[in-house]
Chain A
Amino acid sequence: MVVFGTTFFNFDSFIGKTDFVEIIGKSVFLYRYHIILPLLNDSGRYSLGDARRPLHETAVLVEDVVHTQLINLLQQAAEVSQLRGARVITPEDLLFLMRKDKKKLRRLLKYMFIRDYKSKIVKGIDEDDLLEDKLSGSNNTNKRQKIAQDFLNSIDQTGELLAMFEDDEVDEVKQERMERAERQTRIMDSAQYAEFCESRQLSFSKKASKFRDWLDCSSMEIKPNVVAMEILAYLAYETVAQLVDLALLVRQDMVTKAGDPFSHAISATFIQYHNSAESTAACGVEAHSDAIQPCHIREAIRRYSHKIGPLSPFTNAYRRSGMAFLAC
């Protein structure tokens, strides 16, 4: 039975799951301007950090959000797949869910193509890989691309989806992320940079079995296949990235600049969050001013979910999905 709109705020079960908090913590760390890296090991000790608390809380919150969104996404995908009468959640189902947002879909497609291309190249380098590929019947080249192309071909009525394959426009969000990373890395020294690179390499796809467990796929009737899991891992990563992008914007907004004509228009809820963050800071936990705080994240989600428009409070769609998906 598919349940819409319920959120699973179950903090206790998440504190123990150090792996993903670490991944998310490190991913969130990437986007900050100062490097304070909390290292969580199994016993829960932290190694250093001015911003330990806020960062850990932020990481936990982000993990929670991502988890919720992915579960919802999976359930919707399972629904779509049931409609088709299939027994497995395939990448086509996920692509179908993403059809509305062209930019994000394009980013996903690009990611799939790069994945194909990378396996093609790495195969050519190692002779053992080459043999493996030949033995497995070399129909693996560009399989993700083929899947995507075939599927979009089938659902495309107006031709705009297929036009995306030829589209060479710059992806602004990605561009901005690249520029931000470049700015950050320019000022780092080599030790910091090495750490930074290592954090960037973390992903949900590396620990595939843990990811499956985390998503609790075993309790579902219809399970995703391998390529669908890859896409889900990518979407999880994208969600974290989106959250951080938005949180940074929110944080930027919070700083009132002299001469800003809209400073009087900051919403009341926003100020409330800001104040509560400051009070916890005053309670003795030294909050690093540059760390992303949970309040930023919450505000970002609130703004993202808030559909602006003349009829938004009355549309059924808004009420239906309790939470707007960040990744699609």
Chain B
Amino acid sequence: MASAPRPERVLRLLAGCLPPYPPPPPTVGLLSMEQQETYLELYLDQCAAQDDLAPPRSPLCNPVVPYGMYILNASNPDTAFNSNPEVKETSGDFSSVDLSFLPDEVTQENKDQPVISSRHETEENSESQSPQSRLPSPSEQDIGLGLNSSSLSNSHSQLHPGDTDSVQPSPEKPNSDSLSLAPITPMTPMTPVSECCGIVPQLQNIVSTVNLACKLDLKKIALHAKNAEYNPKRFAAVIMRIREPRTTALIFSSGKMVCTGAKSEEQSRLAARKYARVVQKLGFPARFLDFKIQNMVGSCDVRFPIRLEGLVLTHQQFSSYEPELFPGLIYRMVKPRIVLLIFVSGKVVLTGAKERSEIYEAFENIYPILKGFKKA
């Protein structure tokens, strides 16, 4: 495989920068968790580029790999990432199409470039991403990522030399031409992602909006596009659906579009781009302005029953519990501003987030409280 020699080189180059790690604790739901963490990293790169203000304690402040690294996973048959088939598909779809006419935020464009360019150009990807990359911190989160090397590409796992024995802290310095990871700055050691036995909320639904910036003829779109519904008497928008990523879009004649149903930020963005593409193919000068995630919904299970009556009594100012109206307790967290629906069974639904970090933070805040009301 063409990519095989390169990861090894990356490993050697990076090995010099990283201290050995202790073995990670067992994680629950390995595949899904590492999927989450992949997206964590993607998101983190974005944050890192924007010099975000997340507190150091937050699990999100440990970006690990340049985005480009993940592209290698697509070649690995064991990978369970949803995004990778899409990445492949995207590459297939868009590689022949010049999307540069879709102006966008600069950082996003940087990210998109590696997606479109060949997957095997690891170094180039790393290069373009290097200003954004940071040294992975010796946190268990990262080890957890590295452990699942069957799903991650070799290059990725080799960033966590704790689980491969070929790692030697070698004095090799990265070659600035091929792999400029020189600007890696060491970060302070992080506390683990979650003190709560590695339960990570899964995203279930993302609602985003984008402005196509041109007036649309909804009738024409409805007639020519597949999977489009338009009933002007009922509602003044076209409802379009695509299967991959499985989403639904509402397209208005003003050019504004709402995209719902995606399970991650990248999927939402990708889906929105696909819809924009469809509109564009129909002859409209569609652009891709102001893509914004409006709402994110996550859910998880704390695995123990919760005594809601106790919770509503002690947290009266935040919670309302009317079992005859709704079986769950509605908890309005102030910081971050998230609404949590807490059920007796231990299931928790978090909604109202604009960013993934808010969901994680909210869950971290609520978990110790819920533990206090565990029903034995």
Contact = CB atoms under 8 A, between A and B. Distances in A.
Ranked 8 nearest A-B pairs via Cβ: A203-B324, A200-B323, A127-B260, A181-B309, A182-B309, A135-B235, A185-B309, A127-B261
A155 B55 CA distance: 52
12 contacts: A111-B322, A114-B325, A117-B330, A122-B326, A124-B295, A178-B316, A182-B313, A184-B309, A185-B375, A186-B310, A202-B324, A203-B325
B293 to A, nearest CB: 13
Interface in B304-335: 305, 307-310, 312-313, 316, 320, 322-327, 330
B285 interface: no
Interface string A162-199: 00000000000000001101101110011001100100
Chain B interface residue bracket vs A: 35 or more
Contacts of A201: 323-324, 327
Interface string B329-355: 010000000010100100001011000
Contacts of B14: none
Contacts of A189: 376
B330 to A, nearest CB: 7
A121 interface: yes
A83 interface: no
B239 interface: yes
Residue with the greatest number of chain B CB neighbours at <10 A, chosen from A127, A202, A203? A127
B13 interface: no
B234 interface: yes
A47 B219 CA distance: 62
A197 B323 contact: yes
Contacts of B349: 125
A134 interface: yes
Nearest to B262: A127
A131 B344 contact: no
Contacts of B261: 127
Contacts of B308: 197
Contacts of A186: 307, 310
A66 to B, nearest CB: 14
A178 B312 CA distance: 8
B205 interface: yes
Contacts of A134: 235, 237, 250
B370 to A, nearest CB: 15
A160 to B, nearest CB: 24
A113 B302 CA distance: 29
Given A201-B323, A201-B327, A127 B248 contact: yes
Given A114-B322, A121-B330, A130-B260, A193 B341 contact: no
B305 A131 contact: no
Contacts of B312: 178
A193 B375 CA distance: 8
Interface in A11-66: none
B71 interface: no
B323 A190 contact: no
Nearest to B295: A124
A189 B248 CA distance: 44
A130 B339 CA distance: 17
B305 A193 contact: yes
B44 interface: no
A122 B352 CA distance: 11
B297 interface: yes
Given A182-B313, A193-B375, A201-B327, A124 B351 contact: yes
Interface in B242-296: 248, 250, 260-261, 295
B207 interface: yes
Interface centre among A115, A121, A190, A203 (most CB of B within 10 A): A121
Nearest to A200: B323
B258 to A, nearest CB: 8
Nearest to A23: B324
